[in-house]
Amino acid sequence: MTLVVVGASLAGLRAVEAARRTGYRGRVVLVGAEEHLPYDRPPLSKAFLATGGPVAVEPFHSEEVLREVLGVELMLGAPAEGLDIGAREVTVAGTAVRYDALVIATGATARTLPGARTLRTAEDAVAVRAALDRGARTVVIGAGFIGSEVASAARARGLPVTIVEAAAVPLARAVGETAGAALAGLHHEAGTELRLGTEVTGVTEDGVHLAGGEVLPADLVVAGIGAVPATGWLEGSGLVLHERDRGVVCDATLSAGAPGVYAAGDVAHVANPLFDGHLRLEHWTNAAEQGAAAARHALDPASARPLEAVPYFWSDWYGHRIQFVGTPVADEVVTAGDTTLYRRGDRLVGALTVDRPREIMKHRRRIATGAAWADALAFAGTA
């Protein structure tokens, strides 16, 4: 029996760990495009960009632990190039690797903009950090979570930073318009200039060119404009890829529709019984939970059960912790102080908090159990 995991980051690592935890003793091959051992991404835009932060990106486990304790055969710096679901083979660096069980965990790649940097990998983080160390004047394109964290890191060093965002309200897709507008206020308070409803036409040596003709001078330009599933290697494999972004379409058990093949993390569109429809999430917890489940299901398909996890993510800006659970797609949104609640029908479906760490998981549980809206409002009012 051979388990092959393609993608050596969070979801892939959790897959390998979960496989061993179930008592599986067979062969495990972990294939990764990056040269690095699996490492964690959230710190790249947080602790790693701070003055006095860690200087090197540390892996989750040493190579020794991966090889000796977890018994993993590593194929790093070697992207998978193709998948043959009939022969049950993955092509890696020209050779065929046979699998009985396969977990696809190739994540997503940052969308790029010529002249601007991205922040997705360890190399990206080293480059952004070096520019901040040199005291860069920074322009961030895109007021999403990663762009906002970069701005936060720059302000923490007292450096000037401008965020340019095409939408009139930032984060509308992630948290809805009301909360997005409120979060934008954190940028103002911290002295980050936020240009909303502003299109970027290009980036040159002179800086960032705006649609109106204005040029914002910059030493560091970071594009935080989203990420696309890394599925080029799956084109033509017969797996169903999502029509919009080519992510791997999975059922609620993470099955990608071919024998033994499961997908997890940023790459996967997963049917979600709680929120009707398919969700592709780019959240840490989602990747960790799905990675583990995908490996268990791939090794023992008879045990596969639908996942019913409530989405959760956090972000840290200017010393504030933003936490979100559930979905922002709602009939009504109510904000009370630092908590925003999202209603669909008579149920609570989402919650956003700023600096209320005690509450967020309680909201998550309420969402999971289909709590009534009135109860959720009462809890938020008294908490």
Partner 1 sequence: MRIEADRGKCDGLGMCEAMAPDFFEVGEDGTVVVLDERPGEEHRQDLAAAVDACPVLALKLT
Judged by the rule CB under 8 A, the positions of this chain that interact with partner 1 are 17, 21, 40, 42, 284-285, 288-289, 292, 312, 314, 321, 323, 357-358, 360-361, 364-365
For residue 107, the partner it binds in partner 1, ligand FAD, none, with Cβ less than 5 to 8 A by kind, is ligand FAD
For residue 366, the partner it binds in partner 1, ligand FAD, none, with Cβ less than 5 to 8 A by kind, is none
Kind and range of the H or E element at 148?
helix 145-156
> Cβ of residue 308: shortest distance to ligand FAD, in angstroms?
18
What are the respective helix, strand and coil percentages of the chain, to the nearest 5?
30, 30, 40
Transcribe 292-339 into DSSP letters. HHHHHHHH-GGG-----PPPEEEEEETTEEEEEEE-S--SEEEEETTE
Residue 360 binds to ligand FAD (criterion: CB under 6 A)? no
For residue 233, the partner it binds in partner 1, ligand FAD, none, with Cβ less than 5 to 8 A by kind, is ligand FAD
Residue 34 binds to ligand FAD (criterion: CB under 6 A)? yes
For residue 292, the partner it binds in partner 1, ligand FAD, none, with Cβ less than 5 to 8 A by kind, is partner 1
| Phi, psi at 253, each rounded to 5° | -95, 5
Give the residue from 333, 279, 332 showing the smallest Cα distance to 308: 279
Kind and range of the H or E element at 210?
strand 207-210
139 to 168: interface string for ligand FAD, x by CB under 6 A: -------x----------------------
Residue 45 binds to ligand FAD (criterion: CB under 6 A)? yes
Which residues have a Cβ under 8 Å from the Cβ of 222 and sit 6 or more positions away? 116, 117, 118, 119, 128, 138, 139, 140, 141, 147, 150
Asked if 265 contacts 148 with a C-beta cutoff of 8 angstroms, the reply is: no
For residue 321, the partner it binds in partner 1, ligand FAD, none, with Cβ less than 5 to 8 A by kind, is partner 1
Environment class of 213 (CB within 10 Å of its CB; exposed 0-12, middle 13-18, buried 19+): exposed
For residue 357, the partner it binds in partner 1, ligand FAD, none, with Cβ less than 5 to 8 A by kind, is partner 1
Strands 27-32 and 2-6: parallel
Number of DSSP helices (H) and strands (E) in the chain, helices first = 9, 25
> Cβ of residue 82: shortest distance to ligand FAD, in angstroms?
9
Give residues 204-263 in contact with ligand FAD (rule: CB under 6 A): 230, 233
Of the candidate residues 16, 106, 310, 347, the single one contacting ligand FAD (CB under 6 A)? 106
Binding residues for ligand FAD, rule: CB under 6 A, are 6-12, 31-34, 41-42, 44-45, 79-80, 105-108, 119-120, 146, 230, 233, 265-267, 282-285, 287, 313-315
